[in-house]
Amino acid sequence: MNKSQVLQFYTEYTPNTDPFSLRYLFDELPSDLSGLCRLIKCQLIHPGMVKKVRHLLTSYTKNEDEKFYTIHDMLEALVERNANGIIDERLPRERLIVSCRYHSLLLISMLRSMGVPVRGRVGFARYLSEHQLKYIDHWICEVWNEGESRWIKVDPDMEIVDLQGDDFLLAGAAWLMARDKEINPQLFGVKKSWGMHYIRNNLCYDLHAVLGRELRYWDYPPICQKEIEDMDFEELQLLDEVSIYLQDPDAHFGQLQALFLENESLQFKG
């Protein structure tokens, strides 16, 4: 696909980002990215922030990631908890307690309702680590800036627009750096899980997101179900190739699609 076709692809809903009958909830959204991020935080609470607002919650005090898959699932729950829909005045107890994958999914759906090219990206955020010494598993969005003709990285969970430098490393870049021994893979992960397997898994999630197949954290393609030390040369080479192409998905969209379709080990069919 050429550049215009790629951008058109990212304006179209995927099965997981399509609001279907609830699209009307997006009729009166802010037009700026900062406003959208603020509005998203009025609908969602990251599980890591529950302690700060626990006194304002009722029965919903635990991670609700497993309750939802698609944006339609999330919107249904939001309307059930407050029929007024996507509003600034939503009380904490009426919000969904979901992690960064779901924040990015909501921003993607909102922007596509406006015809703005946007895609999910998966990698690691140094700014989420204490003293910025490690890279924490994180899902964000890339949004096409028409005026500047470039993709900008937006973190709706942390309300950051236009991330710069290496504060956020895409999983493909992390994989290649770790493979070349330029960085310690044990710096990548979250909680008690760190290392090369975590980078590999996020790499596969990023591939799926770029191709419009946004997975959940526990959706493991076959290649992610193997121990790193049990992977053979061809499998490692395949992930190297995917990582290289993901550095510029626009220029290599066809190659990424082909690799995905030709290798069942990259596919998730759950």
pLDDT tens across the length of the chain (270 residues): 899 999 999 999 999 999 999 999 999 999 999 999 999 999 999 988 776 666 666 665 788 899 999 999 999 999 999 999 999 999 988 999 999 999 999 999 999 999 999 999 999 999 999 888 899 999 999 999 999 999 999 999 999 999 998 899 999 999 999 999 999 999 999 999 999 999 999 999 999 999 999 999 999 999 999 999 999 999 999 999 999 999 999 999 999 999 999 999 999 987
Contact 256, 210 (CB under 8 A): yes
pLDDT attached to residue 137: 97
The pTM assigned to this predicted structure is 0.96
pLDDT attached to residue 30: 96
Number of helical H runs and strand E runs in the chain: 9, 9
- Which CA distances in Å does 198 have to 134, 175, 194, 256? 13, 10, 6, 21
Contact 185, 124 (CB under 8 A): no
pLDDT attached to residue 126: 96
CA distance 228 to 255: 24
pLDDT attached to residue 43: 97
pLDDT attached to residue 53: 67
CA distance 224 to 236: 11
- Which CA distances in Å does 27 have to 87, 232, 241? 12, 50, 41
Nearby residues of 189 by Cβ (< 8 Å), 6 or more positions away? 134, 136, 137, 195, 198
